[in-house]
Amino acid sequence: IRHTQRHGHITGMNGFAFNLRRDRFADARVREALALMMDFEWANAALFQGASERAGSFFLNSDLAATEAPDAAERALMAEVPGLFPPEAWHRPWQPPHSDGTGRDRALLERALGLLDAAGWAPRATDGRLAHRETGELFQLSVLAQSNAQQALVGVWFLGLRRLGIAPRFEVLDAPSFTARLRANDFDLAYRFTIPPEWPGPEQRALWGSAGANNTTGLARPEMDLLLDRLEVAPDRASLVTAARVLD
């Protein structure tokens, strides 16, 4: 008998943090286009025997995760900072894109190229390299990590990125060099692993706050700071869950 026993702990998230301080990654259309090229379904079947689960939440496997459409309490809190959310967030939770599992999902490729085109990036007629239409700048992208553990998955993503006309790089550094690059904000994307506590609070401000010490992405929005305030001072579990889901 084979039995899979699920645990009840928050699993955290392995992920790649965009450096929003760089103009090309500050555009949400660009980030969405790049994310579309991560064929997780193919990688999961080919590399991980179908045993992995793609994270759709920073609070995965807990009641803090935004896995359903926002309820009345969540919408009331969202209404205080409406500019923070895209229109679809009011009706459904965010989930990562889902491919057809072939490793060459043409629909996702066309969607990604359309998003990049709207953001001003298109493949050059001469060599197919992705470049900005106005400036001619080539689209550069590198992923920073401390080990080769993520190289297989990154390799799958890079195959997709090359279809867009991007020549990505994977940089593996020792711990001091990795930390120094993060502190200097000298990176495009960086691999991070986070596990939030069962009762999240001030430590989330360090990750997502405008002046957060561990704010890898550089996200700086007063609306986020307000949500972090609500999370930190939540008087009960229900208020904490509402604030966490809206933050998620």
pLDDT at site 99:
95
Phi-psi region of 203 (alpha: psi -120 to 50; beta: other; left: phi over 0): alpha
Backbone angles phi, psi at 173, to 5 degrees: -125, 160
Q: How many CA atoms lie within 13 A of 102 on its CB side?
A: 7
Q: Who wins on pLDDT, 5 or 75?
A: 75
The encoded tokens of residue 165 equal 């006309």
> Model confidence over 202-248: pLDDT tens digits?
999 999 999 999 999 999 999 999 999 999 999 999 999 999 999 99
Q: How far, CA to CA in Å, does 231 sit from each of 25, 203, 214?
A: 27, 11, 18
pLDDT at site 184:
96
Residue 4 reports pLDDT greater than 90: no
Name all contacts of 83-87 with Cβ < 8 Å and 24+ positions apart.
Answer: 83/223, 84/221, 84/223, 84/224, 84/227, 86/28
Backbone angles phi, psi at 81, to 5 degrees: -135, 60
> Model confidence over 10-57: pLDDT tens digits?
988 888 999 999 999 999 999 999 999 999 999 999 998 888 888 899
